Amino acid sequence: MVYKDFQDIKLSALGFGAMRLPVTGEEMDAPIDEARAEEMVAYAMEHGVNYYDTAYGYHEGQSEIVMGRILGRYPRDSYYLATKFPGYDLSNMDKVEAIFEEQLKKCQTEYFDFYLFHNVYEKNIDLYLDPQYGIMDYLLKQKAAGRIKHLGFSAHGRYDTIRRFLEEYGEYMEFCQIQLNYVDWKLQDAKAKVELLEEYKIPIWVMEPLRGGKLAELSEEDTASLKAVRPEEPVPAWAFRFLQSLPGVTMVLSGMSNMEQIKANILTYEEDKPLNEAEMKVLLETADRMMNILPCTACRYCTAHCPKGLDIPTLLSLYNETRYTNGLITHMAVDALAEEKRPQNCIGCKSCEAVCPQQIEIAGAMRDFTEKLQEEVGL
Ligand code: SF4
Ligand code: SF4
């Protein structure tokens, strides 16, 4: 196992994500298959994984309970446990104390090694920063009392939102968890976010290194182009090698759903094998091809021509994302927009297309985006 220094401790560079544990039925919301989860944790422990990441909402609240039970069988100082304050649900904002106490009980522990503001994004940042809820004050007190060892945040928000959070709370943040992989490097502006965190000297924790499993298997053409430069590397390992090439990355969390995945990930993490410049170029070119994204350059020539006042480049950026995700992230971002700014307000007049230097078929994209949102998340 590769280890990384974090302050005065050594963390396994691969962490065990408890967001998609094995379940007993076909549906993702079926009860967790605890026996299989226990075997997976045992394998991870034996192979040097010392970081376990859960959250209040994972598996509808069951992940913390099951992970607490499983990890409770190991000496408390043999692993690091992370969980998060569920501020993605705005109704939790005034319950920080009750939720924190409940989490300690659920996880059968007296302290959390790592505790995060869960998902800072456009919709909750005002409340996270609002002193009336006292979330930061409360968490700092828990830290002073030794019940939180390290405080950080996770974010699906956009660059400006993360910057705003850092401007207010950056001095207290010891780490930040973002969605980072070779597709999101461009698609979700992850490169700029990495540079921002480096500016604040905040170590990076990575979620969705395989983009919910989508980077575990590529088309024949994409697989062949990667094999041509590193024949021995399995396709999923490229996602981890990409992350090993970024100096700011300390922790990579992979949601573990079965033994096969955990074995493969641990095998990859027996070695640190960053990509060289040529390999990185091939990988990022592959990512561009995979995304087949609409080539909006955000020049904004179109926006003044839209009778509905839509922020077309932002919507196209979200549309590009939704074509390559399960819609969850896009759902949150669209939900954070005022109703009159959502893609369903497009009337198909094509005034925008007449001035678009990239000749993007914007009206069709808005129609398709609207349909996708309705199908996937009922927006
Ligand atoms: S087609 Fe839609 S996005 Fe384009 S100008 Fe008309 S209303 Fe705006
Ligand atoms: S004019 Fe075209 S390229 Fe420019 S912002 Fe609008 S859609 Fe994007």
Closest alpha carbon to 127 in 116, 115, 135: 135
Cα–Cα distance measured from residue 375 to residue 323, given in angstroms and rounded to the nearest whole number: 13
Q: Determine the atom of ligand 2 nearest the C-alpha atom of 298.
A: 5
Please state, in angstroms and as integers, the Cα–Cα distance from residue 131 to each residue in 93, 125, 137, 143, 159, following that order.
11, 12, 8, 18, 23
pLDDT at position 326: 53
Query: How remote is the CA of residue 365 from the centroid of ligand 1, in Å?
Result: 10
**Mean pLDDT calculated for residue range 86-111:** 95
Q: What is the pLDDT of residue 355?
A: 83
Tens digit of pLDDT for each residue in 171-227?
Answer: 999 999 998 999 888 877 899 999 999 999 999 999 989 887 778 888 788 899 999
Nearest C-alpha neighbor of 53 from the set 286, 271, 252, 331: 252
Beta strands in 121-248 (DSSP E): 148-155, 175-179, 204-207
Q: What is the pLDDT of residues 13-25, one digit of tens each?
A: 999 999 889 999 7
Q: How far is the CA of 300 from the centre of ligand 1 (A)?
A: 13
Task: Answer yes or no: are the C-beta atoms of 261 and 254 closer than 8 Å.
Answer: yes
Pocket of ligand 1 (CB under 6 A): 305-308, 310, 312, 346-352, 362-363, 366
Nearest protein Cα to ligand 1, atom 6: 349
Nearest to 121 by CA among 341, 310, 338, 329: 329
The pLDDT of residue 218:
83
The neighbouring-strand residues paired with 152 are: 116, 175
Q: What is the mean pLDDT of residues 80-100?
A: 94
Q: Which residue lies with its CA nearest to atom 8 of ligand 1?
A: 306
Ligand closest to 341 (CA) is 1
Rounded to the nearest angstrom, the distance between the alpha carbon of 337 and the centre of ligand 2 is 19
Token output for 296: 């909006």
pLDDT of 66-83, one tens digit each? Answer: 999 999 999 999 999 999
Distance 196 CA to ligand 1 centre (A): 33
| Distance from the alpha carbon of residue 366 to the mean position of ligand 1, in angstroms | 8
CA nearest neighbour of 332 among 207, 183, 179, 157? 157
Within 146-219, residue ranges assigned H as helices are 159-169, 184-187, 190-199
Coil, strand or helix: which one is 206? strand
Q: Does residue 356 line the site of ligand 2, with CB under 6 A? A: yes
* Burial environment of residue 126 by CB neighbours within 10 A (0 to 12, 13 to 18, 19 or more): exposed
Cα-to-centroid distance, 358 and ligand 1 (Å): 15
CA-CA-CA-CA dihedral for 83, 88, 89, 92, to nearest 10: 50
Per-residue three-class SS string for 322-358 = HCCCCCHHHHHHHHCCCHHHCHHHCCCCCCCHHHCCC
Amino acid letter, residue 356: C
What residues contact 171, with CB distance under 8 A and at least 6 apart?
A: none
Examine the pLDDT at 327 and tell me if it is beyond 60.
no
The answer to whether the CB of 358 is under 6 A from ligand 2 is yes
Atom of ligand 2 nearest to the CA of 297: 3
Q: Whose CA is nearest to atom 3 of ligand 1?
A: 346
Q: Tell me: the pLDDT tens digits for 280-325?
A: 999 998 888 776 667 777 778 899 899 999 999 999 988 887 766 5
**Once rounded to an integer, what is the mean pLDDT over residues 25-42?**
87
Q: What is the pTM of this model?
A: 0.78
Reported as a single tens digit per residue, the pLDDT across 126-179 is 999 999 999 999 999 999 999 999 999 999 888 999 999 999 999 999 999 998
Q: Is the dihedral of CA 28, 239, 16, 122 positive or negative?
A: negative
